[in-house]
């Protein structure tokens, strides 16, 4: 467990400061509609005492987000491949009797707001294909043998380090809210894009930007079934 603490502690220390400026101006909203801000809430359930003891001081900030012990967190990952308390909004939609990733529906000009209501730092990162994160011990437990390249750089010794923060790789600290990408820009173009947390790689969602009109906050779910990827 000492190696685990060192790895995760080092990874979190490398997280750069937030305050990312969007490089593209927001496009004009569709005729007759005003751009909206859609909030993506970022959840976790870490227990400050056990997480900080195992990983390092400041890993989990105290609050009302949950009290999952560090050992129980790993036990849940080994059993289920995810820890349910760690998620974006609702992580999955089960209304159709199948596990499906929630999809956020946006119109050009809409903006995402990222609200971290948990105790840990999380990322909101656009990836071409869902994969593992930069904290290597979690990847095999969650069915992700390879880290997503947008999340991590692999060094010559095989170890992983976080990719630098950018407009599409935002680090959101515990208790913080910051502006995310704007629909219709190069960061969040028309069509469906995939977003995940690079610390906890089962935290995922799809974002769909439509040229005409837009649905509600938790619009139609993606047809792709969720798998332990």
**Quick one: three-class SS letters along the chain?**
CHHHHHHHHHHHHCCCCCCCCCCCCCCCCCCCCCCCEEEEEEECCECHHHHHHHCCCCCCCCCCCCCECHHHHHHHHHHHCCCCCCEECCCEECCCCCCEECEEEECCCCEEEEEECCCCCEEEEEECCCCECCCCCHHHHCCCCCECCCCEEECCCCCEEECCCECCEEEECCCCEEEEEECCCCCCCCEEEEEECCCCCCCEEEEEECCCCCCCCCCCCCCCECCCC
CA atoms of 96 and 109, how far apart (whole Å): 31
For residue 55, give its domain range.
2-16+36-209
Q: What is the pLDDT of residue 29?
A: 54
Radius of gyration of the chain (CA): 17
The predicted model scores a pTM of 0.80
CA atoms of 110 and 35, how far apart (whole Å): 5
> Is position 220 within any domain?
no
Q: What is the pLDDT of residues 143-180, one digit of tens each?
A: 999 999 999 999 999 999 999 999 999 999 999 999 99
Q: What is the pLDDT of residues 63-119, one digit of tens each?
A: 888 899 999 999 999 999 999 999 998 777 766 666 778 899 999 999 999 999 999
> Is position 221 within any domain?
no
> Is position 76 within any domain?
yes
11 pLDDT above the threshold of 80: no
Q: What is the pLDDT of residue 217?
A: 40
> Is position 228 within any domain?
no
> Is position 223 within any domain?
no
**CATH number for the domain that contains residue 51:** 2.60.40.420
> Is position 25 within any domain?
no
- Our count of domains for the chain comes to 1
């Amino acid at each position: 467990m000492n190696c685990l603490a060192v790895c995760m502690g080092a990874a979190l220390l490398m997280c750069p400061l937030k305050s990312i400026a969007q490089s593209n101006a927001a496009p004009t909203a569709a005729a007759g509609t005003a751009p909206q801000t859609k909030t993506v809430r970022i959840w976790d359930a870490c227990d400050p005492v056990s997480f900080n003891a195992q990983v390092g001081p400041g890993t989990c900030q105290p609050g009302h987000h949950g009290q999952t012990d560090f050992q129980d967190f790993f036990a849940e990952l080994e059993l289920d491949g995810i820890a349910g308390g760690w998620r974006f909004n609702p992580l999955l939609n089960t209304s159709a009797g199948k596990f499906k990733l929630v999809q956020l529906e946006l119109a050009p000009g809409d903006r995402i707001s990222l609200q971290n209501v948990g105790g840990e730092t999380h990322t909101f990162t656009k990836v071409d294909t869902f994969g593992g994160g930069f904290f290597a011990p979690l990847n095999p437990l969650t069915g992700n043998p390879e880290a997503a390249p947008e999340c991590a750089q692999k060094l010559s010794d095989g170890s992983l380090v976080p990719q630098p923060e950018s407009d599409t790789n935002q680090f959101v600290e515990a208790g913080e809210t910051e502006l995310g990408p704007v629909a219709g820009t190069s960061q969040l173009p028309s069509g469906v894009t995939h977003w995940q947390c690079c610390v906890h790689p089962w935290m995922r969602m799809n974002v769909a930007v439509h040229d005409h009109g837009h649905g509600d906050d938790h619009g139609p779910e993606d047809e792709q079934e969720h798998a332990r990827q």
